[in-house]
Amino acid sequence: MNGREASARGWFAKADIDFKSAYMLAKLSGPPETISFLAQQGAEKYLKGYLVWHGVAFRKVHDMLEILNGCRGVDKAFGQLEGDCRALNPYAVEVRYPGFEAFYGAEDAYGALERAERIRHFVQERLGLDKEKPDASLQRGLPT
């Protein structure tokens, strides 16, 4: 394993912690805005990990579309994730700070998790990594 791959795997490991935390909160009917934020963070880290894997520099930014454009520079197929990235983008900032008093519900949180999972699996497929789904016990019994 080369240094870039090892560094990218570090990004993926951090992202997987975000995913695990999001699923744990979802199972507990936790705050939807926090679940959505963690889903966005996991997806963002997978995209950044992909860029690191390929040696592509990126700015310190949370804009999913900017990060996605870097990935498109390596593989145009990433364009199919634009809708997911666009939908996840607000969760990077809006839910973290006062003054963005938008209401987020369970549907938003589950939608964010679905979109983030699509991004995670897409990156894993493009890199030939084993798909690792979150602990199945975390997904069972999620509130609907």
pLDDT digits (tens, 9 = 90+) for 13-71: 999 999 999 999 999 999 998 999 999 999 999 999 999 999 999 999 999 999 999 99
Query: What pLDDT sits at residue 140?
Result: 44
Could you give the number of structural domains in the chain? 1
Q: Is there a domain that residue 128 lies in?
A: yes
CATH code at position 69: 1.20.120.330
| Structural domain contains residue 101 | yes
Is the dihedral angle over the CA atoms 28, 29, 30, 33 positive or is it negative? positive
How high is the mean pLDDT of the chain? 89
Distance CA 127, CA 102 (A): 36
Which DSSP helix (H) or strand (E) runs through 86?
helix 82-88
CA atoms within 13 A on the CB side of 26: 31
> How far is 24 from 139, CA to CA, in rounded Å?
8
Say what the pTM is.
0.88
Give the domain range for residue 116. 3-132
**141 belongs to a structural domain:** no
38 in any annotated domain: yes
